[in-house]
Amino acid sequence: MSVPLPPAQGGEVIDTVAVAHADLKDSSGGFWQDVFRRLRRSPTAWAGAIIVLLFLLVAVLAPLLAPYPETALPGARFITPTHIPGPGELPEFPLGLDRFGGDVLSKLIWGAQASLLIGVVSTAMGLVGGMLLGLVAGTFGGWVDTLIMRIVDIILSVPNLLLAVSIAAILGQTPYAIMIAIGASQVPIFARLLRASMLQQRSSDYVLSAQSLGLGRGRITMSHVLPNAIGPVIVQGTLTLATAVIDAAALSFLGLGGGRPETAEWGRMLTYAQSELSIAPWLAFFPGICIAVTALGFTLFGEALRESMDPRTRAR
């Protein structure tokens, strides 16, 4: 639908809808260009991106980088009840062995693959579920919004880790249960964030203009409100990846990850390192460092992305 205005000085007729769409397109392109420009200039973004990229490369190339297969125990003959060879003791095992005779370096590399899979899948599940709930609540409002938000409030009243532990315990001790548990615990966060962002956008001038032109609720939501409201959700998704890696390690540490004891996963490595701390402290040190550095990388990049998309800082 277009509303013609009186001819301008040059005798042209101005289409207000076309102008509005062109302005929105130009502002949208300029916004994302400015975000990427600020990211390129941010040392924090570069530091986080390098850490995340290294983590992704190690995880994806694990079959090529790991000296030994995931469940191989090449050093079992060197293990005694009172001694586990540590870093530097055996040339073929630069980071030492674990209590089962597995190569610690290989386990760390394979563990990156497991942590990446759990983190990405669980975050994707939480993101999709939360966005669906937030989209419905932010679009329809009224009793639909009230019902969804009260359910979300009830879920948020339970601490995330406790909720994830409860769901994982119910579903069984498998890696898939951990993914579902972590994803389900993240749904309320994304739902509230998208709903709040959409409510803020619904009061904007461009939405009121679109309504006055007779555009339907669905078209306004999908074409204008949602694209402008999704930015904070993307930032939260990046930050949540760090939390997902930590939560996955915590659930595996509590014994909810299932799998064979010698299977490579950073949280499981910490679990079996407890009884060997007195004679093999590196068994807890190396996976702990991997978890901390990976979470730091996602956090740094997420914070830089948040600052780049924040209008209060973009104006500087």
Q: How confident is the model at residue 293 (pLDDT cuts 50, 70, 90)?
A: very high
The residue-averaged pLDDT of 226-249 equals 84
Domains, the chain: 42-314 (1.10.3720.10)
Three-state SS for 93? strand
The residue-averaged pLDDT of 52-73 equals 91
Greater pLDDT, 220 or 239: 239
**Does 284 score more than 70 pLDDT?**
yes
Three-state SS for 143? helix
Report the alpha-carbon angle 136-139-142, nearest 5.
90
Report the alpha-carbon angle 309-311-314, nearest 5.
75
With a CB cutoff of 8 Å and minimum separation 6, the contacts of 311 are: none
3-state SS record for 251-287? HHHCCCCCCCCCCCCHHHHHHHHHHHCCCCCHHHHHH
Please state, in angstroms and rounded to a whole number, the distance separating the CA atoms of residues 9 and 27: 26
**Does 71 score more than 50 pLDDT?**
yes
- Nearest in space to 213 (alpha carbons), one of 6, 17, 21: 17
Residue-level pLDDT at 49: 93
The model scores a pTM over 0.85: no
**Does 198 score more than 90 pLDDT?**
no
**Does 109 score more than 90 pLDDT?**
yes
**Does 278 score more than 50 pLDDT?**
yes
